Structure 1
Amino acid sequence: MVGLGPGSPLDRTRRCEQAIAAAELVVGYRPYVESLADLTAGKELAASGMRQEVQRCRLAVLRAAAGQTVALVSSGDAGVYGMAGLALEVARGEGLLGRLAIEIVPGVTAATAAAARLGAPLMTDFAAISLSDLLVEWSVIRRRLEAAAEADLVTVLYNPRSVKRQSQLAEAAAIFLRHRPASTPAGVATALGAGDERVVLCDLASLLEQEVTMRSVVVIGNTTTRVLDGWMVTARGYRL
């Protein structure tokens, strides 16, 4: 299982590129596989669309069991909202988990990539929460948002909005506004590493005015987060 990073080839790790080079078969979501065109000449490719995650993992597991070297790719880090956990579950279900040589190759996840573009907002404890309710009930997500907001954790919101999901980000913002000042710094990083990358620094009060898509990551600061000459910075606690 290989994490590709947030989007740009410059954000791939050396281990990622070595794993792709060693693979005979590359399996993944179509845009992710297509992003590897510079590394996959002559290799077998198995690319598919949204909501085909189980099928992709099963194909990768069964082909690996048949003796192929397979790279199952995810954007960001394969173990952070990626395919690593599902692939291990599928391998266990097929009775193959203890029989396969498995390596999980970490990648740069969207949370840290967004933080780097915005400044240094993750300098202390933080939470990562996905607003997608496809696999997790919204009532569960809401409880997690409440807990993170009340605990004053810097919070990274994955999957903040999509064409079909428009209300969740507004509800999340309302939860944080009950626990933090409206002036709390926030940021939106969209299409990280792509040609149309867009990074916006704002505050909680104006968060919903920003353009947020399914390709965005939202970072909400805590009560020690400040904007320093255009950089979003959360205090680590050092005395200056």
Structure 2
Amino acid sequence: MTGGLLIALPIALLAGLVSFFSPCVLPLVPGYLSYVTGVSGADLAEARRGRMVAGAGLFVLGFTAVFVSTGALFGQFGEVFQGENKEIITRVMGVLVILLGLFFMGWIPGLTMREFRFHKKPTAGLVGAPVLGVLFGIGWTPCMGPTLAAVGTLSINEATAGRGALLTAVYCLGLGVPFILAAVAFRKALGAFGWVKKHYAWVMRIGGGMLILTGLLLVTGMWFSIVNEMQTWTNGFTVGI
């Protein structure tokens, strides 16, 4: 692992968590759990935990396949096009991340967080769970655009398909684990979700602030300084097999 990944991985994880708790995902969680388990919303609290977890896990695998493929593509793009222009491209992408952060906080008027809709729905239940996950990954990408684009920017900066895939996999971990935890303890999750809904403004501010800070690090070149410093910390470590 390089210094760049050491910084980028926790940012990707936090971006996934912010996406889950955003207004375009959190309110839909009970509906998704109902659909992927084949259990009506009123009966979710009494549904078998194993079925709930299996449905949520298959759903998470579905959108993970979409996002990891996208991350690998971004990483490959960075590997092909960066070269000597790495610093310039990084700073341009940093400006984009700052704008996305402002957009996420609602400070850019005239833009809204939208999603694509699919009129044909997959079969309800465990069989349709991974298909619904794929459709979620494709259709909700515009809605989760700010945080997902920030992870894509970091994938380009890492400049390999493997690292890009790893970053988006960690993003999916931040987005997917809460889905599974909600399936494990649905009643308790509803109470926690209610608290988050009352504090959506802070969720958006924290998420937007995280994106702006990341963008500033990229634009000012401090990202490279931190990466170089972290690489010197890890130079003395070796892995024995």
Q: TM-score, normalised by structure 2?
A: 0.25
- Asked which structure has the greater RCO (Cα within 8 Å, sep 6+), the reply is 2
More helix by share: 2
